[in-house]
């Protein structure tokens, strides 16, 4: 079961502001990316359920985190059903993220006091997710639903909302500032933080330096 409470995860998300979103079918690549992020100051990491063997890799990453990155909070992404959520939570996932809202996942996570952040594309979806106990919602895909302006417009009538943006978030100062000035609680960042050529070249130093750079913009 999860090591961190929902409140601890939420607070850390707001403190760190940036959650890397990553999947790779190679265990060593995944370990190296996670460690590079950790060395760059990142303290939350979302490993996505996007390919064969994702659960097996996640299990190994959880053991790796406990021994090599003790302050890292590891969660799982791309979860669309409760049975899959249960498998990852059983192996220690500290938070669950999905591309869409699923009521059964919300019930499971609430029952086990795990933070569940579903993807939402409208005010109605955000409101329904909140009614089902989701403290943090993800707007996804963030650019397609309206970008930073959408966050600002949602917070006007619903200022209690905690919103994560994922999709079209870039590791650049101007882009990040636009999201946070709009009131975004935190952001998820994937391919822009981990270019394919960087992974192929195993340039872990680049990832560490890019994470440190991104966090400097946030702070």
For the segment 168-183, the average pLDDT, to the nearest whole number, is 95
Does residue 168 surpass a pLDDT of 90?
no
Can you tell me the distance from the alpha carbon of 105 to that of 111, in angstroms, rounded to the nearest whole number?
10
Average pLDDT value for the chain: 96
Q: Convert the pLDDT of each residue in 112-154 to its tens digit.
A: 999 999 999 999 999 999 999 999 999 999 999 999 999 999 9
Q: Convert the pLDDT of each residue in 11-67 to its tens digit.
A: 999 999 999 999 999 999 999 999 999 999 999 999 999 998 999 999 999 999 999
Can you tell me the distance from the alpha carbon of 134 to that of 194, in angstroms, rounded to the nearest whole number?
28
Map tokens 């005010």 to a residue: 123
Q: How confident is the model at residue 5 (pLDDT cuts 50, 70, 90)?
A: very high
How much of the chain exceeds pLDDT 90, in percent? 96
Q: Return the higher-pLDDT residue of 116 and 191.
A: 116
For the segment 87-97, the average pLDDT, to the nearest whole number, is 98
Q: How confident is the model at residue 219 (pLDDT cuts 50, 70, 90)?
A: confident
Determine how many CB atoms are found less than 10 A away from the CB of residue 55: 16
**What does the pLDDT read at residue 2?**
66
Map tokens 């309206």 to a residue: 146
Domains and CATH numbers, the chain: 6-214 (3.20.20.70)
Can you tell me the distance from the alpha carbon of 69 to that of 30, in angstroms, rounded to the nearest whole number?
13
Which contacts qualify for 203-208: CB closer than 8 Å, 24 or more apart? Answer: 204/32, 204/33, 204/35, 204/36, 205/36, 207/33, 207/36, 207/37, 207/40, 208/36, 208/37, 208/39, 208/40
Map tokens 């870039």 to a residue: 170
CA torsion 108-111-113-116 (nearest 10°) is: 30
Q: How far is CA 99 from CA 58, 69, 80, 83, 215, in A?
A: 19, 27, 7, 16, 25
**What does the pLDDT read at residue 1?**
54
Q: Over the Cα atoms of the chain, what is R_g? A: 16
């Amino acid at each position: 079961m999860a090591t961190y409470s929902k409140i601890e995860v939420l607070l850390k998300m707001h403190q760190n502001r940036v959650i890397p979103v990553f999947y790779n079918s190679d265990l060593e690549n995944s370990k190296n990316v996670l460690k590079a992020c950790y060395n760059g100051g990142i303290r939350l990491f979302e490993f996505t359920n996007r390919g064969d063997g994702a659960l097996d890799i996640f299990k190994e990453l959880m053991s790796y985190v406990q021994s090599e990155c003790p302050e890292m909070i590891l969660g799982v992404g791309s979860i669309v059903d409760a049975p899959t959520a249960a498998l990852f939570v059983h192996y220690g996932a500290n938070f669950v993220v999905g591309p869409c809202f699923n009521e059964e996942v919300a019930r499971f996570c609430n029952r086990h006091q795990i933070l569940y952040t579903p993807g939402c594309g409208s005010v109605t979806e955000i409101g329904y997710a909140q009614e089902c106990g989701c403290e943090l919602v993800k707007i996804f895909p963030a650019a397609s639903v309206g970008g930073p302006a959408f966050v600002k417009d949602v917070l006007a009538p619903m200022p209690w909302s905690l919103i994560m943006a994922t999709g079209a978030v870039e590791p650049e100062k101007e882009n990040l500032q636009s999201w946070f000035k709009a009131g975004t609680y935190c952001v998820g960042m994937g391919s822009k933080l981990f270019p394919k050529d960087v992974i192929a070249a195993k340039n872990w130093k680049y990832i560490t330096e890019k994470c440190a750079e991104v966090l400097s913009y946030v702070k």
